[in-house]
Structure 1
Amino acid sequence: MTKPGVSDQAALAEKVTAGDRRALARAITLIESTKPEHAGEAEALLEALLPASGNSVRIGISGVPGVGKSTFIERFGLHLVEAGHQVAVLAVDPSSKVSGGSILGDKTRMEELSRHPRAFIRPSPTGGTLGGVARRTREAMLVCEAAGFDVVIVETVGVGQSETAVAEMVDIFLLLLLPGGGDELQGIKKGIVELADAVIVNKADGDMVPAADRAVAEYYGALGLLRAPNPDWRPPVLKCSALLDQGIGEVWETVVKHRQVMEASGARAAKRAAQAGAWMWAEISDGLMRRFKAQPEVARELQGLEREVRAGKTTPTAAARRLVGLFIGN
């Protein structure tokens, strides 16, 4: 017997794969829903879309405040759509419960790109958790791929923990920096710099061109002291001016070259497989935690035991053992 809602999701999946934009928006809204009754429908939808997904170049982009990330992504996206690509942009902000602003806000930041028929821009709400970033953004990425987008850009708002979550779901991670020189790397967490598959010095225009040239050399030297994400690829340092639309083509050439190198070595397939496995375990963890908190016996004891732990009346280990025992019925 067909489960309730499965036929509906199959019909929605068919519209998504046919390139129906309204169906795409509805599909993403469904998978982002936190209502328990939508979980089964979202799962059925993703199962139906999975065979059509996985064919895009997945690009993560982050940058320091004031680097001109939105302008860069718009110029980069326009360069790609004008070359015939279909580009989806998913914006992530774990510091906000509704992402980096409203849908209107994201489209205002990339007004020209948002109007292009081969582009799609969508914020990815996180519910205030990094787990939300990973789960919903991954699923939105699969839906966009199934809809025919061959380039999916995941934009992180700010430099922080979200970069690790995003880097673990994309093929290539780009870090945008200002023409400030190598000293600027000291103001960025080393772990984030190590995630970068390419560093891009933006705002290389006007009086900042000499500074940008120096920054490229200094960043390249600094990156040589760090562990590269993959032994087959040394992260290059590029310069561009998103404002003047200069150097954008070279960034895309770097993305293409990175893909070729990773595919030739087998690293791309291995990375995708590892990401899928990590996603499964993350889902297991999230699912168990949700069931744990919803279990009646645990729910009755949880707040009281947490208060005792905070007050120093019982140890975290003892409280945890008690709660886990209630959950598994021992």
Structure 2
Amino acid sequence: MRTLTILVPEGQDNLTSVVGAYKFFTKANAYFKKEVFHIQLAGVTKEVDLYDGLFAIRPQTHIRDIEKTDLIIIPALAHNNIPNVLARNAEAISWIKQQRKQGAEIASICTGAFLLASTGLLKGRVCSTHWNAAGKFAELFPDVDLQTDKIITDEQGIYTNGGAFSFMNLLLYLIEKYYDRATAVFCAKVFQVDIDRSSQSPFTIFNGQKDHADEEIRKAQNYLESNLSDKISMDELASSLAISRRNFDRRFIKATGNTPIEYQQRVKIELAKKSLESGRKTINEVMYEVGYADTKAFRDLFKKITGLAPIDYRNKYNKDAAVNENY
């Protein structure tokens, strides 16, 4: 029998991801009629408080008492003060690295990716986390290939997933791997989860990364956001800030994680999303409003960023809008 260790680190702030993992694998064991995993909650303290003491988790064992485990699940962390959280979990970080050397597979849920990345095991690998934590993650771990459009990443027994309740898709993915497809489908039906969902792009809200010290780049961001319907020359924008185009691109990427053109595109598509969610404008009207005249170019870019065609996005999030549009 294998051992599944659900880690309960200090600074863990998501009761659902701990309870969810426990319930999914318990249900999988029962359905499979064989205890594929012995499931245990392990921590670095006897009790971890959540939500200002409203809830508490009492791990069954301490990680130092576990010599070997087969699968580790790292739940979501509070990401408002990640350096402090990581410092409080130095023992857990060392333990995860040791278990990996002994062959353990590791899965992080949402912002649990910060703890996993701090072990160095994600260096050069693809990783996902909650889209709202992407800027901070990229700042702390620039050597990780962050792809927040993905709900699940899988590289040689190291798994990560996107944000919030998308962790259920990761659990189903692991259940299918360790049990079988029938067990995963059963769990999907019991917990009413849309199985095989692969992207969190439709749920992403692009806010623009402005938590940086480059004042000229912040001015450029503000200009791009204030002139969405205009055709903007990036060469002229760079020149107006007395920056060479090459240096402008380099500084923009360093500050925001996007090239100037990518940033402009994401701002335009974010505005288009909001119009499609709440208004009654046609898709063509929305397209013109954000500065596009080429229908195919707009549709392709919208789908690339959101994972959905404009009409599908509108029909999904705006029930009051007409669904039969000639587009």
Q: Structure 2 length as normaliser, TM-score?
A: 0.27
Which structure has more helix as a fraction of its residues? 1
Structure of higher RCO (CA pairs closer than 8 Å, 6+ residues apart): 1
